[in-house]
Amino acid sequence: MSNVIQASQLTLAYDNGEKEIIKDANFSIKKGEFVFITGPSGSGKSTLLKALYGQLRPTAGSLIIGGNDLSNIRRNKLQELRTHMGIIFQDYKLVNEWTVSKNVVLPLMIAGYSSEIQETQARRLLKHVKLSEYGERYPLELSGGEQQRVGVARALSKNPVVILADEPTGNLDDYSSNVIWDLMENACQQLDTTVLVVTHKIPTIFSLPYRHFIIESKGVYEVH
Amino acid sequence: MKFIKNHLMFILPLMAILLGVEFYLVFERTTNSYEKTLTEGYSMLVVSKKPVKLETFQKLNQHIITSTQIERSNIVSEVVKGISKSNSEAILKALPYFYNLGLNSYLHTNALGQIKKDLEADKNIKKVETFGSSYNSSYRLFAFIKLTLKVFIIFMAVVSLFLIIKQMEIWKYAHKERMRVMEIFGAPLMLRSGVLFRVAFVDAIFATIFVSGIFFYIKFYWAVQSGIDIMMQNKEELFQVADIGILFGSAIAIVIVAVYSVVFSNKGVQE
């Protein structure tokens, strides 16, 4: 299987390279894999994720996603690449002035799909995350677990090649967390999507075989 | 209520700028027309030993556009009453030639002085009268009014611009999260800023309609009833259909600058 993500001698830093977070990291992730990245608070988990969706440019080395090197990618190419990613955030990052349905189909809207397709997909996805009745509500009318299910539905809406999740269950109770893990496992199994989850704790209920990386002392190491 | 307030916060300063633009246009037109009237009503008196053609005057100074010779017989007609014909002919013969000269624009007194100098350089011209003192006082008053209004318009535009910048900061805050989320999911700039453009374009249309409405009212109702001569005489200059285009163009230009400054201050990639 081909690598969807490939990092070589990857260095990530803030403040024009002065504050190094990750240094000379090497790892690769194949299509359809489910990968956990863990590490103590402040170790650089979210920084790595930011780099993976192109929000932070590598200071040195290369970070290749779907054949695109993010260290020198052009803005319009990055925009195009992001349309093939599903991103899930700990704080959901839903647009509060939009309805749940509109939030879910954001990636389709960006890709220019017709409103009929968007409506059909919104209904299908909301059914999938068991929020069929919530389409016309607004995010702030929903509980945290429900909002995160909307976030997952949004991430899945365009059958992404990669799903990147930053502490997706960080703010949720056990029941809501398990629902989210189920949805992500299903996406990986049924859609052959690569899923990369940054979390401080791997869930015990997890049934899929997965790879586990840990970030420690600026390095990214695989745990066997 | 919040929706209306948000729109008004942009529409009102935009209207203030458009009012400034329209005031400027109207003022330029009416003062140009008034200047023309003043220019037409003004003439220089030239006394010459020999007859002088208009082309000769124009060679001396290009501001001169007309020359009218004052009939010498009219000048002497009162004087020669009771005098013999031969004597009156002698007086007429000895009398110099008088000309009223018209100018092409309403000139500063310095320029009038220059014209006088240029004319007096001709050996045949004996005397040039510019009526400088009365001309000078009306010119100064006119120039002062023009300057005051322009300063006021600029001041109004600057204050309004600050209000627009303030409103842009509110927009920036209000739309920051949405634009950020859209950017993360790969939305191009135009799609991210689409909502802002729509809101701002609607506001620009409303501001243009309101300002045009105000000036239509001034032109067709207020100016007629005001009793102010310059207003009534220059009613047609007060507002013209083409002004709607100028106002809308100005509003759109301000909107584009405002929206892009919000959009570009929300850029994402960290180097």
Domain assignment present for residue B186? The answer is yes
Domain assignment present for residue B269? The answer is no
Nearest to A93 among B181, B191, B270 (CB): B181
- Pinpoint the alpha helices (H) of chain A: 45-52, 75-82, 100-104, 106-111, 115-128, 144-156, 174-191
Report percent pLDDT > 90 for chain A.
69
B202 lies in the same domain as B250: yes
User: Could you list the residue range(s) of the whole structural domain that residue B260 is in?
Assistant: 2-37+149-264
The residues pairing with A38 across neighbouring beta strands, listed in sequence order, are A214
CB contact, 8 Å: B270 with chain A?
yes
CA angle in degrees (0–180, nearest 5) for B254-B259-B263:
150
For residue A139, give Cα distances in angstroms to A94, A109, B2: 7, 18, 20
Q: How large is the ipTM?
A: 0.87
Q: Where is B147: in which H helix or E strand? A: helix B132-184
B33 lies in the same domain as B124: no
- Compute the distance between CA of residue B218 and CA of residue B224 in angstroms, rounded to an integer: 8
B256 lies in the same domain as B163: yes
B88 lies in the same domain as B221: no
The side-by-side arrangement of strands in the sheet containing A19-30 is A19-30, A3-14, A60-65, A68-69
B179 lies in the same domain as B231: yes
Residue-level pLDDT at B269: 45
B101 lies in the same domain as B199: no
pTM of the model: 0.69
- Pinpoint the alpha helices (H) of B194-240: 194-217, 223-226, 229-233, 235-238
B99 lies in the same domain as B179: no
Coil, helix or strand at residue A221: strand
Domain assignment present for residue B270? The answer is no
For range A53-78, the mean pLDDT? 92
Domain assignment present for residue B141? The answer is no
Mean pLDDT for chain A overall:
91
Secondary structure, 3-state, B6-29? HHHHHHHHHHHHHHHHHHHHHHHH
Q: Which of B80, B95, B130 is the C-terminal boundary of a domain?
A: B130
For range A6-31, the mean pLDDT? 92
Q: Is the pLDDT of residue A213 over 50?
A: yes
The enclosing domain of B88 has a CATH number of: 3.30.70
Domain assignment present for residue B140? The answer is no
Q: Which of B130, B158, B175 is the C-terminal boundary of a domain?
A: B130
Domain assignment present for residue B271? The answer is no
Residue-level pLDDT at A1: 61
B112 lies in the same domain as B232: no
Tell which residue, B258, B46, B178, B190, has the closest CA to residue A103.
B178
Contact across the interface for B269 and A55, Cβ inside 8 Å = yes
Nearest to A95 among B177, B270, B271 (CB): B177
Which of A17-21, A92-96, B141-145 is predicted with the least confidence, judged by mean pLDDT?
B141-145
CB contact, 8 Å: B227 with chain A?
no
Structural domain spans, chain A? 94-158
B50 lies in the same domain as B125: yes
Distance from CA of A86 to the nearest CA of B (A): 8
Q: Report the number of distinct structural domains present in chain B.
A: 2
For range A101-123, the mean pLDDT? 94
DSSP string, A50-66: HHHTTSB--SEEEEEET
Query: Residue B247's Cα: distance from chain center in Å?
Result: 16
Residue-level pLDDT at B271: 40
Residue-level pLDDT at B143: 77
Domain assignment present for residue B20? The answer is yes
B53 lies in the same domain as B116: yes
Chain A residues within 8 A of B184 when measuring between CB atoms: 53, 55, 82, 87, 93
Chain A residues within 8 A of B188 when measuring between CB atoms: 76, 79, 110
Block mean pLDDT (10 aa), chain B, length 271? 78 90 84 73 82 88 86 73 74 83 80 85 84 67 82 87 81 83 89 84 93 89 77 76 92 86 63 40
User: Using N-to-C axis directions, what is the helix angle for B132-184 and B109-120, rounded to 10°?
Assistant: 130
Sequence letter at residue B77:
S
pLDDT band at A108 (very low <50, low <70, confident <90, very high): very high
Coil, helix or strand at residue B127: strand
Chain B residues within 8 A of A55 when measuring between CB atoms: 184, 268-270
pLDDT band at A7 (very low <50, low <70, confident <90, very high): very high
Domain assignment present for residue B144? The answer is no
Q: Which of B82, B102, B130 is the C-terminal boundary of a domain?
A: B130
Cβ proximity of B103 and B58 under 8 Å:
no
B155 lies in the same domain as B241: yes
Which of A46-60, A80-94, A109-123, B61-75 is predicted with the least confidence, judged by mean pLDDT?
B61-75
Return the residue matching tokens 């329209």: B22
Q: Which of residues 151-180 of B touch A (CB under 8 A)?
A: 177-178, 180
B97 lies in the same domain as B164: no
